[in-house]
Amino acid sequence: YGISESTVYLYCKRVMIAIFSLKHELVNWPTGELRKLVHLGFNKIGSFNNVIGAINGTHIILENAP
């Protein structure tokens, strides 16, 4: 196709920067009663302790996460 590895790298980097810039709109931590319910739900489905959320198959660096 004539697409170089550096072009693919730069494209992926730009996409990740765009997603990272929207992290406050895209990633929300549950609070209050919802946080308790989510924690209990994860504990029930697999005995996962101290879990309050999951991101479906995606790895995002979350600096300064609470």
**Predicted model pTM:** 0.46
Query: What per-residue confidence (pLDDT) applies to 42?
Result: 85
The answer on pLDDT for 66 being more than 60 is: no
Q: What is the pLDDT of residue 46?
A: 81
pLDDT digits (tens, 9 = 90+) for 14-65: 988 988 898 888 778 888 999 899 889 888 888 878 888 876 655 556 666 5
- Residues 6+ away with beta carbon under 8 Å from 50: 39
